Amino acid sequence: MGFRRREERSAAVSVQTRPAGGPAPLPAGAGERELYRVLRQSVPIIDAAIYKLRRLIGDFKVNCPDPGAQERLQRFLDGIQVNAGGTGINEFLGIYLEELITYGNAVGEMVLSGGQIGALYNAGLRDLELAEDGALGVKVSVLEPGGKRECGCKELLLISALNPEAGSLWGVSLLRGLPFVSTVLLQIYQTLGTNWERMGNVRFAVTCKPDGAPGSAAERARQMAGEWRNAMASREPRDFVAVGDVSIKAIGPDNQLMESEVPVRQMLEQIVAKLGLPPFLLGLSWSSTERMSSQQADVLTSELEAYRRVLTPVVLKVCRTWLMLEGLSRECEVVWEEITMQDEVDHANARYYTARARKLERELELSEQEGDAL
């Protein structure tokens, strides 16, 4: 009950990870995070991969020893408000995972209302500053125009780091290492577009050799240039008539575009290898064999399992806090659903072949025993 009273007093703080006032000074690492944000906007395949990882993470259920508590907890998880317009813990975890993959860190908050968890809030890293609080603690401060304000209710905060380095509270973004490769890819695309613009919009070279007729050569050149522009600007077919030896040639029709398929694929291979998604999920038909697609699906399953291990403590903290505020036992377990039906089929086949092998081994042992008896 003492914990309940302390939480009720702290409820007046509202959302403690949201800054008050206007823009604040940029926190440490803001430049790198802005780079990753722009990278997602500039390279569609990176943005699509992160959204697919968010959707492929799957659903889960929370099991409690008490069936009544489990039913109430499930209703809470399905109906909890998320940020300003979302509902359900899956919405919260989706945004949380997206921030985690993009920036390497993610921060959330359980917002109290009337002594209970009234909402879940995804805090923006651009408004926060993370600092070490001892060897095993993390101190979260909110950046505001007048300075920074430390979040006092650490029990309500949800903090995760993706693949942090030893002794560091900062995680590693999945996009680290991609800015250079993406820059080369965008340069190829930009050059390709420029070349197509030049080659598609044909330029002409009009050459006139004077025939010795009276008149200024410069004046005749101006007249010819004006008539040529009028002929090219006309939407209807229009003849160009000139006097003298006039030749018209298209500029650059014999030039060929540089081969772009190989370098583009090389850059995309680096990006796909870093993102951990099979190419066929991103619309890239590089591998057509069924065996290779199955192996890539297995790799994707292991990647998603790793993300689930990072999200599981977050779900457990939300559930245990709600159970404790309700005066119920904090004992619960998060059970994730199978990622795909193909996994269930593979597991069933594996159990079948294992049972069959054991049966054959027992029959072989019985045959050997009978042979020894004879």
User: Could you please report the per-residue DSSP string of 152-164?
Assistant: --GGGEEEEESSP
Q: Does 171 have pLDDT greater than 60?
A: yes
Mark which of 176, 195, 220 sits at the end of a domain: 176
The reply to whether 97 and 238 lie within a common domain is: no
Same domain, 22 and 137: yes
Tell me, what DSSP letter sits at residue 145?
T
pLDDT at 129: 85
Give which of 169, 34, 15 is closest to 106, Cα–Cα: 169
pLDDT tens digits, residue range 269-309?
888 888 888 777 787 776 555 455 667 677 788 888 989 99
- 117: three-class secondary structure by DSSP: strand
Average pLDDT, the chain: 79
Task: Provide CB contacts within 8 A for 128, sequence distance 6+.
Answer: 17, 27, 107, 140, 141, 142, 143
Three-state DSSP at 173 gives coil
> Rounded mean pLDDT of 314-326?
93
326-358 pLDDT, tens digit per residue, is 888 889 999 998 876 455 556 667 777 888 888
Q: Which domain does 373 fall in, by range?
A: 341-374
Clarify whether residues 114 and 56 are in a common domain: yes
CB 142 within 8 A of CB 128: yes
3-class DSSP assignment, residue 111? strand
Q: Is residue 320 part of a domain?
A: no
The helix/strand/coil state of 284 is coil
Cβ burial of 32 (10 Å; 0-12, 13-18, 19+) is middle
Distance from C-alpha of 17 to C-alpha of 14, rounded to nearest angstrom: 9
Cα angle, residue 86 at apex, residues 5 and 110 outer, rounded to 5°: 25
Determine, yes or no, domain membership for 182: no
**pLDDT for 119:** 92
pLDDT given at position 34: 87
